[in-house]
Chain A
Amino acid sequence: MPTFEIDGKKITVGQGVTVLEAARSQGIEIPHFCYHESFKSGGLCRMCLVEIEKMPKLQTSCTTVATEGMVVKTTTDRVKQARSAILEFILTNHPLDCPDCDQAGECVLQEYSHKYGPDKSAFREPKELREHIQLSEHIAYDPERCIMCERCVRYYRDVVGTEELAVMQRGAHSEITTFPGRQLDYGYIGNIADICPVGALTTKDFRFKERVYNLRTTETICPLCEAGCTIYVDAKKYTVYRVRSRNKNLTSLHEHPNRNVTALYPKVFIDAILRSSFICDDGRFGYKKAIENGAIPGPINRYEPENRTWNNVISLVAQKIKQAGSKVGGIVSPFATNEEAYAFLYLLKYISGTNTIGVIDFPGAKEFNGATKLQLRKGSQSPNLKGIEQIAGALGIKITPVEEVVASKPELLYVLGPTLNRMDAYTEKIGGIKFIVLQDFKASAFANNVHVVMPGFNFAQKDGTYTNKDGKVQRIRKAVDAKGDARNDLDILTDIIYNISGKKLGSFDNILGLMVKEIPFFNGADAAILTTGINFRKAAGRLW
């Protein structure tokens, strides 16, 4: 455990920790482009040069391992001069097309130029302009903006393992490219846009759509499979513009919204967070599936068409549930949050006395390419299947296939969505069921054939928790507002329960509190998961 000095501060670090990493753990910023914690450092960009006593030349802090007694200085004139020089060099052939660049506002080069760069460039020669290249249908590469940090190349070498990108040409003509005639395989492409520190790699999904500084970033969980990857949703008012891995901000952990993260968690956990912070392309580009428009503008009541206010609908449903007694059939979507599932199962178990529930089946989440080292997809495309199983188990409710619930011809069938068209197959089979209630955010063939539709929220519109396949309970957060007269699914459920029984379950955090108390699986899901982005369970190591 070497002890060394950095900017006058004595610190002790682990064996083999680099100067850059050590500085970062102390909140000392050393600017860098090519360094990234997920792959081997190359010492390429030279931005992280620092002065080390007894070494004549400045050293790249990303490749220099801290050793006993080392004295490092990061703020001397020499260091400042070198940083300014590197930025001046990078900008010589950079097009400076910030007004038209998607990265503007979250560009590391922009930030560093502002902070460490020279106030004007002495470069007067004509710039060499280059055309953008499509590396795949999803990713465009602008070589003129590229600073050759090779993060993307190393990502494909060290993380994905397929080595699909390489540097071609030499010197100032260098550019990143794929094998001639080939494009990047779909699967884990999008991450290179996140790790690119400049605007050289951009996704088609987001290219020229919106300025990043007009977007609000929300930390949430990808709902497209059971892995439950952590994501950022960037949105404005009603619209989600982009889904990103949480990787980018983690490149500077001390800049993470939860600033004391490094102090809170041991390095192994941070490493795990970083490793797990890449996401797959289905999650990145496929989020539209889970939030698609075609929203239902307000409650639909085909049973008593004149009564269409929320109050009418809720008391109708409450009355019908009371009448049906234990002959209520329940079907729940694995897109429902833990809290919604709990409220729904509470309704079935304690109010109706039903002991079974159908869970809508979503197909398995297949890996894209067996050759990749990075394999993130897990289980089915059901983000909260595990959570529902745990809650049902704790309440003594048996999970049965949806067919059985439908075939049992209950007096009343209550479907808690989002169904995402997976119930359409049962449209023919539900004839004969006297009263069918659906909570869903999106119109579907099934929705056209039920008695009452109560429009709910999609995953980006609500708060709650999901439990992933590994049993980590993670927080999803409201990123956008809902249009029209839709309501939060949890509020709909608790209103119905209140209407029938006078019992108030409360908001999602009250319910989470209830689950923590009552269900052993949720023990330890304390305030941490409600306040921090990185959810971490002290006791069992199960909660993230």
Chain B
Amino acid sequence: MEQILLKNVEGAKLADINNYTAVGGYESAKKAITSMTIAQIIDEVKKSGLRGRGGAGFPAGMKWDFVPKDFKGPRYLCCNADEGEPGTFKDREILEKNPHLLIEGMIIASYAIGAELSFIYIRGEFVKAANTLESALDQARKQGFLGERIFGTDKKIDIVVHRGAGAYICGEETALIESIEGERGNPRVRPPFPAVVGVFSKPTVVNNVETLAAVPSIIKNSGQWYAAIGVPPKNTGSKLYAVSGHVNKPGVYELPMGTTLKDLIYNYAGGIKGNKKLKGVIPGGSSTPVLLPEEIGVSMDFDSLAKAGSMLGSAAVIVMDEDVCTVEESLRLSEFYAHESCGQCTPCREGTVWMTKILDRIEQGKGEQGDIELLERVSANIMGNTLCPLGDAAAMMMLGFLKKFKDEFALHIKSGRCPIHKK
């Protein structure tokens, strides 16, 4: 497969607009703005089968179509660049090395939903990426691709970079919207959904960086072309897989949707470091349930992973070798969720802390009979009862580890110490 998102990124210095236009950059935006109707664009994106790359996998074309057509007044596009899911570093690749591809995608998406102003909500720690984006936006404005009368038409589209302040929860789309508005980044109750009441109470579409970056190629080559890549009809296109952990070659790999996990780990990422045995893999960022070595034949796409009891999520593959203590690993993740819980709703605020305290006890060798059942019960009580998906994420992670590594948890409790770290 020819790379779509990361094509030419090594060495070609695509952050410079001249290099980007030299390889055909902004042609798609021009084509969309000057020769396509909104309906045609949305139709093309729908045909491509492009699904949201942020984690939930919602069809992008359908999301754009939800924006009320008859709404008078501004509507907004937000690019979610608050890449915070532990293990995920795929969007940074685009933001730092191919910012114009994102901007071009955003111009097309803005036009498709009728937005004149769009936001890139970028993770606060991504200082380099934010600077790269700012200068890329300046270049695009100078070229007349952004601002008033873009591409010589009477259309007006501009993009603003909004830097986050370090909260994981702001990657949740409604918290992101609150944060853009200058409020504390707390998730909102849905409904109403952002497509109807979003930024400043106006219809808003929130799309992930990778989703928007895929749009120019769809406009250039047609939706049908994109839909032929990957596992049609529902899991199409290319996908950025961020592989980390105990592998020889960690990194971001752009591969067709549906590449198997085994291929990804042993072929592309060079296998397990030090020829150790594989213990488990988290396939889609810390919230997705862990998989065992015998399950890595799974195809890395939305539906196959769902069938396998996990999720594609952000496709952040965390590889754990035989020396990993899964109690410690789940404790570390649980601490993360407890730390990042916004505290608005009861089950997440209290449940994640409770979970952490139990795990901490077990890891310290102070686990008690019944702790496993208690962890299951606490997780189940969080699951589905929270205001936003953060609580669900913590519970899903926990239930995943308990399901796959129950024996190891039981051994911790029975032996009164961590059997792996031999404390």
Partners in one complex: yes
Residues of A within 8 A of B353 (CB): 92-93, 171-172
Asked whether A148 and B385 contact (CB < 8 A) given A92-B354, A122-B377, A125-B358, the answer is: no
Any A CB within 8 A of the CB of B22: no
Question: How distant is B323 from chain A, measured CB to nearest CB, in Å?
Answer: 29
Closest residue on chain B to residue A175 by CB atoms:
B343
Describe B's contact surface by its main secondary structure. Answer: helix
Instruction: Tell me, in angstroms, the Cα distance from A147 to B349 when the chains sit together.
Output: 10
Residues of B within 8 A of A150 (CB): 344
Any B CB within 8 A of the CB of A45: yes
Asked whether A89 and B189 contact (CB < 8 A) given A167-B343, A171-B341, A174-B343, the answer is: no
Within 45-89 of A, Cβ neighbours of B (below 8 Å) are at 45-47, 49, 56-58, 60, 63, 81-82, 85-86, 88-89
Any A CB within 8 A of the CB of B384: yes
Question: How distant is B90 from chain A, measured CB to nearest CB, in Å?
Answer: 26
Residues of B within 8 A of A174 (CB): 343, 349
Question: How distant is A149 from chain B, measured CB to nearest CB, in Å?
Answer: 9
Residues of A within 8 A of B357 (CB): 125
Residues of B within 8 A of A199 (CB): none
Instruction: Tell me, in angstroms, the Cα distance from A88 to B189 when the chains sit together.
Output: 23
> Are A172 and B345 interface neighbours, CB within 8 A?
no
A89-B381, A166-B184, A170-B343 are known contacts; what are 15 more A-B pairs with Cβ within 8 Å?
Answer: A46-B345, A58-B384, A81-B381, A85-B385, A86-B385, A89-B347, A89-B350, A93-B350, A125-B354, A150-B344, A167-B343, A170-B340, A170-B341, A171-B338, A171-B349
Any A CB within 8 A of the CB of B87: no
13 contacts between A and B (CB under 8 A): A44-B345, A46-B346, A63-B189, A85-B347, A85-B381, A89-B346, A125-B358, A125-B361, A150-B344, A170-B343, A171-B340, A172-B349, A174-B349
Any B CB within 8 A of the CB of A90: yes
Any A CB within 8 A of the CB of B167: yes
> Are A46 and B386 interface neighbours, CB within 8 A?
yes
Count the A-B residue pairs with Cβ separation under 8 angstroms: how many? Answer: 95
> Are A46 and B385 interface neighbours, CB within 8 A?
yes
Interface string of B326-353 (1 = CB under 8 A from A): 0000000000001111111111011111
Interface string of A151-182 (1 = CB under 8 A from B): 00000000000000011011111100000000
Any B CB within 8 A of the CB of A43: yes
Instruction: Tell me, in angstroms, the Cα distance from A111 to B210 when the chains sit together.
Output: 50
Instruction: Tell me, in angstroms, the Cα distance from A275 to B338 when the chains sit together.
Output: 38
> Are A92 and B350 interface neighbours, CB within 8 A?
yes
Question: How distant is A156 from chain B, measured CB to nearest CB, in Å?
Answer: 15
Residues of B within 8 A of A90 (CB): 346, 350
Instruction: Tell me, in angstroms, the Cα distance from A90 to B339 when the chains sit together.
Output: 18
Question: How distant is B201 from chain A, measured CB to nearest CB, in Å?
Answer: 13
Residues of B within 8 A of A86 (CB): 346-347, 385
Residues of B within 8 A of A269 (CB): none
Residues of A within 8 A of B387 (CB): 43-44, 46
Residue from the list B344, B354, B368 in contact with A44, Cβ < 8 A: B344
Instruction: Tell me, in angstroms, the Cα distance from A57 to B389 when the chains sit together.
Output: 12
Residues of A within 8 A of B354 (CB): 89, 92, 123, 125
Residues of A within 8 A of B339 (CB): 170-171
> Are A147 and B346 interface neighbours, CB within 8 A?
yes
> Are A148 and B344 interface neighbours, CB within 8 A?
yes
Any A CB within 8 A of the CB of B308: no
Any B CB within 8 A of the CB of A379: no
> Are B385 and A58 interface neighbours, CB within 8 A?
yes
> Are A172 and B381 interface neighbours, CB within 8 A?
no
Any A CB within 8 A of the CB of B39: no
Any B CB within 8 A of the CB of A297: no
> Are A122 and B385 interface neighbours, CB within 8 A?
no
> Are B346 and A172 interface neighbours, CB within 8 A?
no
Closest residue on chain B to residue A87 by CB atoms:
B346
Closest residue on chain A to residue B169 by CB atoms:
A170
Closest residue on chain B to residue A40 by CB atoms:
B189
Describe A's contact surface by its main secondary structure. Answer: loop
Residues of B within 8 A of A43 (CB): 189, 345, 387
Question: How distant is B393 from chain A, measured CB to nearest CB, in Å?
Answer: 14
Residues of A within 8 A of B358 (CB): 125
Instruction: Tell me, in angstroms, the Cα distance from A89 to B385 when the chains sit together.
Output: 12
Closest residue on chain B to residue A89 by CB atoms:
B350
Question: How distant is B422 from chain A, measured CB to nearest CB, in Å?
Answer: 26
Residue from the list A58, A167, A170, A172 in contact with B350, Cβ < 8 A: A172
Within 194-230 of B, Cβ neighbours of A (below 8 Å) are at none
Any A CB within 8 A of the CB of B127: no
Question: How distant is A173 from chain B, measured CB to nearest CB, in Å?
Answer: 7
Instruction: Tell me, in angstroms, the Cα distance from A171 to B334 when the chains sit together.
Output: 13
Question: How distant is B179 from chain A, measured CB to nearest CB, in Å?
Answer: 13
Interface string of B260-298 (1 = CB under 8 A from A): 000000000000000000000000000000000000000
> Are A170 and B381 interface neighbours, CB within 8 A?
no
Question: How distant is B147 from chain A, measured CB to nearest CB, in Å?
Answer: 36
Any A CB within 8 A of the CB of B374: yes
Residues of B within 8 A of A124 (CB): 368
Residues of A within 8 A of B349 (CB): 89, 148, 171-172, 174
Residues of B within 8 A of A81 (CB): 381
Instruction: Tell me, in angstroms, the Cα distance from A57 to B395 when the chains sit together.
Output: 15
Question: How distant is A261 from chain B, measured CB to nearest CB, in Å?
Answer: 29
Asked whether A60 and B350 contact (CB < 8 A) given A89-B381, A125-B358, the answer is: no
> Are B342 and A170 interface neighbours, CB within 8 A?
yes
> Are A89 and B351 interface neighbours, CB within 8 A?
yes
Residues of B within 8 A of A173 (CB): 343
Instruction: Tell me, in angstroms, the Cα distance from A123 to B339 when the chains sit together.
Output: 19
> Are B346 and A42 interface neighbours, CB within 8 A?
no
Question: How distant is B202 from chain A, measured CB to nearest CB, in Å?
Answer: 18
Within 93-143 of A, Cβ neighbours of B (below 8 Å) are at 93, 122-125
Closest residue on chain B to residue A91 by CB atoms:
B350
Interface string of B183-197 (1 = CB under 8 A from A): 010000100000000
> Are A169 and B381 interface neighbours, CB within 8 A?
no
Question: How distant is A337 from chain B, measured CB to nearest CB, in Å?
Answer: 48
Instruction: Tell me, in angstroms, the Cα distance from A45 to B341 when the chains sit together.
Output: 14
Question: How distant is A109 from chain B, measured CB to nearest CB, in Å?
Answer: 11
Q: Which 9 A-B residue pairs are closest in the complex by CB-CB distance?
A: A174-B343, A85-B381, A89-B350, A43-B189, A171-B341, A125-B357, A171-B343, A172-B353, A57-B384
Q: Which of B344, B351, B353, B361 has the most CB of A within 10 A?
A: B344
> Are A170 and B167 interface neighbours, CB within 8 A?
yes
Q: Which of B350, B352, B374, B377 has the most CB of A within 10 A?
A: B350
> Are A171 and B352 interface neighbours, CB within 8 A?
yes
Question: How distant is B399 from chain A, measured CB to nearest CB, in Å?
Answer: 15
Instruction: Tell me, in angstroms, the Cα distance from A124 to B350 when the chains sit together.
Output: 14
Question: How distant is A147 from chain B, measured CB to nearest CB, in Å?
Answer: 7
Interface string of B163-192 (1 = CB under 8 A from A): 000010000000000000000100001000
Closest residue on chain A to residue B353 by CB atoms:
A172
> Are B343 and A169 interface neighbours, CB within 8 A?
yes
> Are B343 and A45 interface neighbours, CB within 8 A?
no
Instruction: Tell me, in angstroms, the Cα distance from A172 to B339 when the chains sit together.
Output: 8
Residue from the list A42, A122, A166 in contact with B344, Cβ < 8 A: A42
Question: How distant is A88 from chain B, measured CB to nearest CB, in Å?
Answer: 7
Question: How distant is B341 from chain A, measured CB to nearest CB, in Å?
Answer: 4
Instruction: Tell me, in angstroms, the Cα distance from A100 to B344 when the chains sit together.
Output: 27
Q: Which of A46, A57, A170 has the most CB of B within 10 A?
A: A170
Instruction: Tell me, in angstroms, the Cα distance from A414 to B247 when the chains sit together.
Output: 99
Closest residue on chain A to residue B361 by CB atoms:
A125
Question: How distant is B281 from chain A, measured CB to nearest CB, in Å?
Answer: 28
Residues of B within 8 A of A125 (CB): 354, 357-358, 361
Residue from the list A41, A49, A172 in contact with B343, Cβ < 8 A: A172
Instruction: Tell me, in angstroms, the Cα distance from A60 to B385 when the chains sit together.
Output: 9
Asked whether A167 and B341 contact (CB < 8 A) given A92-B350, A123-B354, the answer is: no
> Are A167 and B346 interface neighbours, CB within 8 A?
no
Residues of B within 8 A of A41 (CB): 189
Question: How distant is B387 from chain A, measured CB to nearest CB, in Å?
Answer: 6
Instruction: Tell me, in angstroms, the Cα distance from A86 to B350 when the chains sit together.
Output: 9
Instruction: Tell me, in angstroms, the Cα distance from A44 to B345 when the chains sit together.
Output: 5
Closest residue on chain B to residue A60 by CB atoms:
B189
Closest residue on chain A to residue B167 by CB atoms:
A170
